[in-house]
């Protein structure tokens, strides 16, 4: 399973790095609208300015190339790992570091470009903007029905999963645990986000590139349609993934099938992004000669990536690095979103640390004077002897079908609420690689499947329980 997980991450992240490199650090800067987040202009393509910019572009493009090469090497190393838990932790950390690293040359290049711009006397704190009065109420390209259909279909799958969890139809092994409902609802939220994003992007203020209103309208309509097409594609791909997973719960119930479905989904997401980028390039090339008006707002972009303009009432603006849109962090809602992003990153880092501790800390099964304690980082379960109704020894936990409902499911550790052999509501605390276990049923009907860090510890606890009971 770890091999499939590794290849999925590798085949998604490495192409993403290469695409980011091509988008952020283009070789022929003269044909681009932006140079490291600074608006390109005719003065940059004359005399010493041209030579200076050639040097800046080549220098930071070289730095970025080295970062991408290092990232590919690290990705190959991570591909060789065999622990899924360790893979998830290191891949997550790698993604965060790669995002930061690939941006550093761009930010340094943006600083030099702004210095060159000032040296050429091309404005300092320029804040010139243009408004096309003929198209003041933004051009739209989204056909709402296209994004609403996959969204409604995904919600329907959530309802179907809930009905199946209620055991009204179907005979899924995990029915009654509500795992199907939770998974379907989680993925359905993504489609709801795609729906929201489609309206936000479609309602963005028009970018003015020409004194001709028709040119502005066509340019903005083409870009918004491209974004809408990508989000509709993502919504249908998400619906397809949900449908495949729900069918797998009913007919196959295979972890391998789950990983294959995720792999296909990631591949389709990458394909959608690649098509979006290709179309975006065609649009920019088509209207390159029409771009006769340049808003001088370079200094409103921090490091060429973060837009901060208290006078701009827009929440979303077109990104300067890559493609798509970003937020105005001076907007009240933008500040809230930024705070949320920071908190999410902190949460992600803490989660990686927590997973590392879970992976490295062995479980302990202690039979005390009057209770059995299952401990790892904390006392997960404490079972008083007076509440034990029955107990039995098990030789091979792999003979049983364990499906995690809530808790931890690692190769070296299983704990939390599980469905065992189709019975929901079971409590699990196991080192599955050791195979041996103790099944304890309490007076309230709860079944516990527990073991120690090794077979000897499990056997010792079992013998102590036999004497105590």
Residue 126 has pLDDT above 70, yes or no: no
Range of the domain at 142: 130-294
Integer Cα distance of 315 and 58 in angstroms: 34
What is the mean predicted confidence (pLDDT) over 124-150?
73
What pLDDT does 323 receive?
A: 67
Integer Cα distance of 46 and 43 in angstroms: 6
Both 285 and 180 in one domain: the answer is: yes
Whether residue 53 lies inside any domain: the answer is: no
* 56-70, 155-169, 242-256, 317-331: which is most confident: 56-70
| Residue range 198-213, pLDDT digits in tens | 988 888 777 777 778 8
What pLDDT does 253 receive?
A: 58
Whether residue 104 lies inside any domain: the answer is: no
Would you place residue 231 in the very low, low, confident or very high pLDDT band (cuts 50, 70, 90)? very high
Residue 8 has pLDDT above 80, yes or no: no
In this prediction the pTM is 0.70
Both 248 and 377 in one domain: the answer is: no
Residues 6+ apart with CB under 8 A from 88: 5, 355
Both 256 and 401 in one domain: the answer is: no
Integer Cα distance of 438 and 243 in angstroms: 37
Decide: 381 and 448 in contact? Cβ < 8 Å: yes
Helix axis angle for 84-119 and 2-24, nearest 10°, is 0
Whether residue 151 lies inside any domain: the answer is: yes
| Residue range 418-461, pLDDT digits in tens | 888 878 789 999 988 889 999 999 999 999 999 998 999 999 99
Residue 1 has pLDDT above 60, yes or no: no
Residues 6+ apart with CB under 8 A from 56: 36, 109, 112, 113, 116
Would you place residue 12 in the very low, low, confident or very high pLDDT band (cuts 50, 70, 90)? confident
Both 138 and 240 in one domain: the answer is: yes
| Residue range 354-401, pLDDT digits in tens | 877 777 788 999 988 889 999 998 888 999 999 999 999 999 998 888
What pLDDT does 63 receive?
A: 94
Whether residue 393 lies inside any domain: the answer is: yes
What pLDDT does 81 receive?
A: 77
Q: Which residue has the higher pLDDT, 168 or 309?
A: 309
Helix (H, G, I), strand (E, B) or coil at 69: helix
Whether residue 391 lies inside any domain: the answer is: yes
Task: State residue 364 phi and psi, 5-degree precision.
Answer: -135, 135
Burial 204-229 (b: 16+ CB within 10 A, else e): bbbbbbbeeeebbbbbbbbbbbbbbb
Residue 342 has pLDDT above 70, yes or no: yes
Decide: 432 and 398 in contact? Cβ < 8 Å: yes
Both 153 and 243 in one domain: the answer is: yes
Boundary (domain end) residue, out of 294, 328, 345: 294
Q: Residue 427 maps to which CATH number?
A: 2.30.29
- Of 427, 436, 432, 430, the closest CA to residue 387 belongs to 427
Both 157 and 279 in one domain: the answer is: yes
Residue 4 has pLDDT above 80, yes or no: no
Both 284 and 373 in one domain: the answer is: no
Tell how far CA 45 is from the center of its chain.
40
> Which residue has 């932006």 as its token pair?
34
> Would you put residue 167 in left (φ > 0), alpha (ψ -120 to 50) or beta?
left
Both 375 and 277 in one domain: the answer is: no
Both 269 and 161 in one domain: the answer is: yes
Q: What is the mean pLDDT of the chain?
A: 84
Boundary (domain end) residue, out of 271, 294, 317: 294
What is the mean predicted confidence (pLDDT) over 99-127?
84
Helix (H) or strand (E) holding 52: helix 47-79
Whether residue 332 lies inside any domain: the answer is: no
Both 376 and 289 in one domain: the answer is: no
Boundary (domain end) residue, out of 294, 329, 354: 294
Both 285 and 392 in one domain: the answer is: no
Minimum mean pLDDT range among 28-37, 38-47, 111-120, 135-144: 135-144
Both 280 and 143 in one domain: the answer is: yes
User: What's the total number of domains in the chain?
Assistant: 2
What pLDDT does 127 receive?
A: 56
Whether residue 371 lies inside any domain: the answer is: yes
Whether residue 462 lies inside any domain: the answer is: yes
């Amino acid at each position: 399973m770890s091999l499939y997980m590794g290849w999925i991450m590798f085949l998604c992240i490495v192409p993403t790095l290469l695409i980011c490199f091509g988008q952020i650090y283009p070789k022929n800067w003269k044909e681009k609208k932006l140079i490291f987040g600074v608006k390109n202009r005719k003065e940059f393509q004359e005399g010493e300015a041209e030579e200076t910019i050639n040097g800046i572009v080549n220098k930071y493009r070289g730095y970025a190339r080295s970062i991408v090469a290092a990232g590919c090497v690290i990705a190959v190393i991570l591909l060789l790992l065999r622990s899924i838990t360790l893979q998830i932790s290191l891949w997550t950390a790698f993604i965060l570091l790669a995002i930061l690293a690939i941006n550093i040359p761009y930010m340094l290049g943006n600083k030099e470009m702004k210095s060159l711009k000032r040296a050429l006397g091309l404005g300092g704190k320029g804040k010139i903007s243009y408004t096309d009065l003929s198209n003041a109420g933004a051009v739209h390209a989204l056909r709402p029905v296209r994004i609403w259909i996959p969204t409604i279909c995904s919600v329907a799958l959530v309802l179907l999963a809930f009905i199946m969890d209620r055991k009204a139809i179907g005979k899924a092994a995990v029915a009654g645990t509500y795992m199907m409902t939770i998974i379907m609802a989680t993925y359905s939220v993504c489609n709801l986000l795609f729906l929201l994003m489609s309206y936000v992007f479609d309602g963005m203020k028009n970018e003015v590139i020409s004194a001709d209103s028709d040119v502005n309208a066509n340019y903005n309509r083409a870009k918004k349609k491209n974004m809408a097409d990508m989000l509709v594609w993502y919504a249908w791909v998400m619906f397809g993934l949900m449908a495949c997973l729900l069918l797998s719960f009913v007919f196959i119930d295979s972890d391998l099938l789950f990983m294959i479905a995720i792999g296909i989904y990631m591949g389709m997401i990458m394909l959608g992004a690649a098509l979006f980028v290709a179309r975006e390039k065609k649009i920019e090339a088509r209207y390159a000669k029409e771009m006769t008006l340049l808003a001088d707002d370079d200094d409103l972009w921090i490091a060429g990536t973060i837009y901060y303009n208290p006078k701009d009432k827009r929440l979303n603006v077109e990104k300067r690095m890559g493609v798509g849109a970003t937020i105005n962090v001076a907007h009240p809602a933008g500040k809230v979103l930024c705070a949320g992003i920071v908190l999410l990153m902190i949460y992600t880092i803490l989660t990686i640390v927590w997973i590392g501790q879970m992976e490295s800390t062995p479980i302990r099964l202690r039979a005390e004077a009057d209770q059995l304690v299952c401990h790892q980082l904390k006392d997960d379960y404490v079972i008083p002897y007076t509440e034990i109704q029955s107990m039995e020894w098990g030789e091979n936990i792999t003979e049983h079908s364990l499906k995690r409902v809530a808790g931890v499911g690692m190769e070296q550790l299983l704990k939390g609420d599980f469905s065992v052999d189709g019975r929901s509501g079971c409590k699990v605390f196991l080192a599955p690689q050791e195979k041996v276990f103790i099944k304890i049923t309490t007076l309230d009907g709860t079944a516990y499947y527990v073991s120690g860090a090794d077979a000897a510890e499990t056997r010792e606890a079992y013998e102590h329980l036999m004497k105590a009971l």
